[in-house]
Amino acid sequence: MSESVQKANPNGTTNLSGTNGFALPGVLGALAEQGVARAQANCEKIKAASEQVSQSLRESYSANAESATSYGLKVIEISNANTAAAMDFFFHLLGSKSVTDVVTLSAEQARKTFDATSAQNRELWELAQKLATEAGEPVRKHVASVFQKAS
């Protein structure tokens, strides 16, 4: 190497062709390339998994919103029915002519209320179970998909 090249590159790291004087041997270079390729592939896998999780969360949120709306509407419907039944009871109570009528109407109302409440609780329980099942379905599908891909 000429003295002018050594003066231009006092640390001696570049040879005349402009390449690194400390170049990795071919095997190490190939390993480095494989490492970079693997890292890129893993990044792509992480990106795909992230998109799947996002989709799963969107589906889960949508299912939760629909189920919660159904549940809320059922509660409003039940509340409306209970209010109408109470108003009907008071209307009949005002038309009572004796204490016996009041006791009879009260007993009938208590039985109707118990029966209606039992049916309403059953409906709300079924809706709550449906909500829980539907809310978990997108996540279950995603997990099944991940396990299927891993197999």
pLDDT, tens digit, 9 for 90 and up, residues 94-106: 998 999 999 999 9
Tell me if 141 sits within 8 A of 81, measured CB to CB. Answer: no
Query: Distance between terminal CA atoms of the chain?
Result: 58
pTM of this prediction?
A: 0.58
Q: Identify residue 137 by its one-letter amino acid code.
A: E
Which tokens in the block code for residue 120?
Answer: 């309403």
Q: For residue range 108-147, what is the model confidence (pLDDT) as tens digits? A: 999 999 999 999 999 999 999 988 888 777 777 777 776 7
Tell me if 22 sits within 8 A of 13, measured CB to CB. Answer: yes
Three-state DSSP at 39 gives: helix
